[in-house]
Amino acid sequence: MKELKVHIYKFDNIKVFLMILVIIAHTLINSYGDKGMEYIRFICLCYTMPLFTFISGYLSKKEQSLKKNCIRLLLPCIIFTIINDLVQEWVNPNYIFSWKQPGFAMWYLWVLFVYRIALPYLIRIKYILLFSFLLSWFVGFIPFVGANYSLSRLCCFLPYFLLGYTIANEDVFSRYKNEIFQKLNLVGYLVLIFIFIGWFIIITFRPGLTFATAFNDGYSGNINGLMLRIALQFTIVLTGYCILKVFPNKETFYTKYGKRTLYVYLLHGLVVLPFAYIVFPSFGVATFIGKILMILVPTLCCIFLFSETVYKYMSFLFGQK
């Protein structure tokens, strides 16, 4: 008998929130060296892509179709890598094209494609979840594991994908599976507040640490880099756990937009890149009102990407119902 598919509204709800945070973070792509920008980027990016990856792992099936994953993930990745590279060549005079790196934000589709195809083989390995965390620590010492082919991200986001799959499918994790569907209590909210306050203090005295959340580079044999990565992973897991519990597992007015986030992710670069490089100055030299507008305007423009019209058009282009 075919197993009935149970729709999880919680994940749709949280994906809308995460997608908006990604858009906000990317409005600041042309802004570096400003502490205010670093605080915003940390709030937006610390747990966002790891949590997207966790949800993808949770919803992934043991058996994977190569054809389906090529159509849904690899093909859009290739098409929008080309499109986004052309846009960046146009808006950013300092942009350097590299065929070894997926285009703007497309790394996520690439790593998700690899995870899905490799999943049936990975889950045969005993203690694979533990090994994935160890791998994410070890690769930071390997010089050639970096942005090229998104190798660093392939290794560093794998634990979150496997964690999602494991919690969804392994009985030993059933307690945590049940807990993420419970409401966050006062202690949980206090934990979130103290986590962000702690990192804000660290960023104030050690500017630049925010960019370690991208997991795009190694640490060149520096043990402090390893400690930072472990601290970030601990923060990501704890913060992600709390954020999961914040959102309701019921249909809301914004639930329907959750299934549209992939197409919003594909298209948002076409909006935020021109605003970031042409329309607005960098965050560090903008006025206070300018800083608000450079985040608010492109984010509001991207809201249209959640529309039914865009969703139907993109679904038609990629042959999905």
Sequence ranges of the domains in the chain: 1-30+253-321
Helices (H), the chain: 9-26, 35-45, 48-59, 66-69, 75-91, 107-122, 128-138, 151-156, 158-169, 174-179, 186-205, 223-246, 261-274, 288-302, 308-317
Using the CB atoms, write b or e for 141-173: b if 16+ within 10 Å. eeeebbbebbbbbbbbbbbbbbbbbbbbbeeee
**Is residue 87 pLDDT above 80, yes or no?**
yes
Query: Could you read off the pLDDT of 221-252 as tens digits, one per residue?
Result: 789 999 999 999 999 999 999 999 999 999 99
**Average pLDDT, stretch 293-309?**
97
pLDDT at 33: 66
pLDDT at 172: 82
Query: Could you read off the pLDDT of 43-84 as tens digits, one per residue?
Result: 998 999 999 999 999 999 998 999 999 999 999 999 999 999
- pTM for this entry: 0.94
In this prediction, residue 319 has a pLDDT band, given cuts at 50, 70 and 90, of confident
In whole angstroms, what is the distance from residue 290 CA to residue 298 CA? 12
Find out whether 209 and 35 touch, Cβ atoms under 8 Å.
Answer: no
Residues shown for the chain: 321
Query: Could you read off the pLDDT of 146-178 as tens digits, one per residue?
Result: 999 999 999 999 999 999 999 999 888 888 889
